[in-house]
Amino acid sequence: MINFYPLKKGDTIGVAAPSARFDDKKLRKGIDCLEKMGFEVLLPEAIFGRKRYLAGEDHARASVVNELFANPKVNGIIAARGGFGAMRILEFLDWEMIQANPKLVIGFSDATALLSAVIQRTQFAVVHGPNLVSLANVDSITLSSFFQAITELPTDILLSLGGCLEPGQAQGKLVGGNLATLTHLIGTQFQPDFTGGVLFLEDVGEPAYKIDRMLSQMKMAGLFKGVQGVITGSFENCDNADYIPGILSEIFEGVPLLMGLTSGHGDRNFSLAMGLEVVLDTSTARIKWQVNQ
């Protein structure tokens, strides 16, 4: 049973930096966005650490996440940015303590590693949506989607740009996120489990042959066995993007498959409640969350 812990105005959102170094000015603008929405923001000093391209040492970045989960005044946790590094801290997280202190975790891109692990290790729903620095430059529709996703029970999403590659209906837990990040978790103790799920995938800057290679590896590793349906978000700045529909059709032959969800690294990034049951209907290009009202 996956539990969803939405936020409300006045709640405190803690900022973690599980991945790469970030731009301080964009971070401050992101904080302004959260405060204008009515949230308090807790900004740990430790997130400003530096090690190569990372936001500090692995243990330090993990300690921030652990401390935010342990803090009873914190209701949600948002990733500062993506890049790389979240997978490096997973083994240093106190999963027993985290499970005992449920909070809503928010982020995307490299934060997919953390989101996926939280769903599997704790049975908490998460929100795949803008990281804090991303909030600095998003449009009003993305902001509205973000606020709704973190504060309310999920509502239907119509894929206005939806393209059906394989028809049908599917129901299952919404799982997935950034394709490259998920691929690099194969063979680790945090390997994603998509069994019985509706799989969402997105990526940026990957040419079609690399997307093919990653999907082929996942398929050969058995990760797609039991996948009930597939939804793809944006594949931004991906060379030979016109090849991608054919690649997806070959990999997921016979599985209901929709392209065109406006979520991921594009200019508009709809927020998604991940880990909860959804129904995917290719005939209406709609995703419907199955939640208790």
- Which of the residues are catalytic? 109, 202, 265
Side chain identity at residue 268, one-letter code: R
Strand order in the sheet with 272-274: 40-42, 12-16, 76-79, 104-107, 126-128, 272-274
- 3-state helix, strand, coil split of the chain in percent (to 5) is 35, 25, 40
Contacts of 74 (CB under 8 A, 6+ apart): 12, 13, 14, 42, 68, 103
H-helix segments, 24-125: 24-36, 58-70, 86-89, 95-99, 112-122
User: Computed from CA positions of residues 20, 23, 28, 33, in that sequence, does the dihedral angle turn out positive or negative?
Assistant: negative
Distance from chain centroid for Cα 291: 19
Axis-axis angle for helices 244-251, 208-220 (nearest 10): 10
How far apart CA 137 and CA 80 sit, in angstroms, is 14
